[in-house]
Amino acid sequence: MDSKGDELEVPKAVVSRLIKSAIPDTFVAVQAEAKQALTTAAKIFILYATACANDICKAENKSTIMPEHVFKAMEELEFDFGDKLKEALEAHRKDQTQKKVRRTDEIVSPGSASKETPKPQETSTAAAPDGKEEAEKDDEPADEDEEVDIVDDD
């Protein structure tokens, strides 16, 4: 198959997992050719459903396909699983919200030194050998006559 055709392939591992979840191993074996046929059917279904949703989107003068366009496409294609599709979308949204909350909690949680933002460096004052006080600060420009050691951290 050419490289452009490979871009449009449904991952075989995903198809295998879907088959295993639908048919227990002890019930029936699935030949490699049957898996390939299901993979091709899934690809065609996705392309067809996307084209239909795109037509609905264009008819509404929208530039982005939204879930509602996909729901309408499924109705138009006479697939009667709109409610299951809506439930799956809601479950996905809840899952994404929970993941976002967990990530936020991990960042904000106390005692997590690696997640805390570093404190800004304070300017300290030290006495120079000649008795004058000078400020020590890393990002302060050096005087022209002063020697500066450059340290490479790599």
Q: Which tokens sit at 43?
A: 């690809």
pLDDT: which is higher, 122 or 90? 90
Residue 31 pLDDT > 80:
yes
* % of the chain surpassing 90 pLDDT: 40
Residue 16 pLDDT > 70:
yes
Distance CA 126, CA 135 (A): 7
Distance CA 60, CA 20 (A): 39
Name the H helices within the chain: 3-7, 12-22, 32-59, 67-76, 82-108
